[in-house]
Structure 1
Amino acid sequence: MIYYVEDDSGIRELVVYTLNQTGLEARGFAEGQAFYVACAERKPDLILLDIMLPREDGLSILKRIRQDASLKSVPTIMVTAKGSEYDKVRGLDLGADDYIAKPFGMMELVARVKARLRAAGGEKGAAVLSCGALKLDSRRHEVTAGGRPVALTLKEFALLELLMRHPGVAFTREQLLERNWDYSYEGGTRTVDVHVQTLRGKLGDCASLIQTVRGVGYKLGG
């Protein structure tokens, strides 16, 4: 089930109709309160969230989603105004998995939604991964470094999980963007370096496990 929060009835109905026609079950909501009620009744598989909404804007709703234990892992795509870089950055910082700018084509929207649903299935393999003193539990969404719990954002967790599932494999920055963001993020490959830097800062003594491969990108070693 896909939930779409959008106050413009024309856009909302078109998107819901298109998703349903492509075999994806979808429901639309004009504002946050109706959306929260629906989430209490049935947890969605993905959320499409417009930023400009009455009473409570999309960024505030996103923040509440990421603080809700039952919803924080639900992939969320923000719908932003064209050229609004600040909104895109804020959304990603608050835990959005992707964004799409208005006006958008229905084919692009469906492709983005399907990509996020595929990604939400996660990598196949063990639930608990370890490398030295670094451990990651994908089911509990927990990371410990030297026995110490580490709080990570969704993107940091996904990036670390990808590296830990492929120890010793050197990923280029472009590959990490495609795997972790599902497309070439407009911020460029610099966003990968920033996420790696903040991730290392949180891992303490385990930071050295994420190695820079000169001229390539990053890998997990040690």
Structure 2
Amino acid sequence: MTKLSILVVEDEDSIRAMLLLVLEQAGFIAHAASDAKEAQAILDQTHIDMILLDWMLPGISGAEWARRLRKESAYQDLPIILLTARGEEEDKVRGFDVGVDDYITKPFSPKELVARIRAVLRRSGKLLGGGQIVLGDMALDAEQHRLSIGERQLEVSPTEFRLMQFFMTHPDKVYTRTQLLDQVWGRSVYIEERTVDVHIRRLRKILSEYGREELLQTVRGFGYRFSLLQ
């Protein structure tokens, strides 16, 4: 069963502990950091599907770190929810200006938090109907670890499943081999770029059995793209 990972960046110990408990009870994998520097280290080594980010952090503020992340191609589409005690409308506008996906003002209920998280994940394509991603006649069920075309289930390895999960949550976008390694394998593991090519070939062979090998497209001189468009 594949669970989505959420990184909590909060400097107050009690709030951070509460958030971790709420997320774990909701079925997510929760990671925690107390400042932007620690959070960046986790992000560099671990696949993260969403960030819950406190506005006021020691050192680099949450808003500033979000602005920096949005300048990196690997994190431009990473969902970010900003947590803050600020309630003024102008501060909310400033929060969205830095590129966050949602804004929750403290205090908030655990039920509201989880609902907002799931809403952002659905909008980003990472979560649909209890962990399902559906594109055309293709469906990926993260909870049951199933990939299917119509009624036919595809037999793929765990790595190939993660690769397809990333592609299906980021359709029609081109990614370099390095970006795919960072997002699917993680930056903490040294793997040669040609490993990506090997897994792409395997996936195409599997998809070809269903006449769908064209879904994984090579963009010459850059990398790969998953697209239902021809």
TM range (shorter): 0.5 to 0.7
- In the TM superposition, what is the alpha-carbon distance from 1:42 to its structure 2 partner? 1.3
Query: 1:34 aligned to 31, 34, 38, which one?
Result: 38
1:100 aligns with 2:111: no
Q: Is the 8 A contact 1:80 1:88 kept in 2?
A: no
Equivalence for 1:13: 17
Query: 1:121 aligned to 114, 122, 125, which one?
Result: 125
Over residues 132-178 of structure 1, what are the superposed CA-to-partner deviations in whole Å (9 max), with x where a residue is unaligned?
Answer: xxxxx95228xxxxxxxxxxxxxxxxxxxxxxxxxxxxxxxxxxxxx
Could you tell me which runs of 5 or more consecutive residues in structure 1 were left unpaired when the two chains were aligned.
Answer: 127-136, 142-222
Equivalence for 2:88: 84
Structural mapping, 1:135-174, within 5 Å: 138-140=171-173
Q: Is the 8 A contact 1:6 1:29 kept in 2?
A: yes
- Secondary structure of the residue aligned to 1:67 is coil
Over residues 95-130 of structure 1, what are the superposed CA-to-partner deviations in whole Å (9 max), with x where a residue is unaligned?
Answer: 11111000111110011111111121178349xxxx
- In the TM superposition, what is the alpha-carbon distance from 1:22 to its structure 2 partner? 1.3
* Corresponding residue pairs, total: 132
Cα distance in 2 for partners of 1:54, 1:84 equals 21
Over residues 31-58 of structure 1, what are the superposed CA-to-partner deviations in whole Å (9 max), with x where a residue is unaligned?
Answer: 0011001111013101111101101101
Query: 1:51 aligned to 49, 55, 71, which one?
Result: 55
- In the TM superposition, what is the alpha-carbon distance from 1:86 to its structure 2 partner? 2.5
Q: Is the 8 A contact 2:64 2:98 kept in 1?
A: no
- In the TM superposition, what is the alpha-carbon distance from 1:21 to its structure 2 partner? 1.1
Flag as ranges the 4+ runs of structure 1 deviating above 3 A: 122-126
RMSD: 2.2
TM-score, normalised to structure 1's length?
0.55
- In the TM superposition, what is the alpha-carbon distance from 1:82 to its structure 2 partner? 4.0
Cα distance in 2 for partners of 1:35, 1:84 equals 27
Higher relative contact order (CA 8 A, sep 6+): 2
Query: 1:73 aligned to 77, 90, 104, which one?
Result: 77
Cα distance in 1 for partners of 2:46, 2:73 equals 14
Letter in 2 for 1:139: D
Could you tell me which runs of 5 or more consecutive residues in structure 2 were left unpaired when the two chains were aligned.
Answer: 127-133, 138-169, 175-230
Identity of aligned residues (%): 39
Q: Is the 8 A contact 1:5 1:35 kept in 2?
A: yes
Q: Is the 8 A contact 2:36 2:65 kept in 1?
A: yes
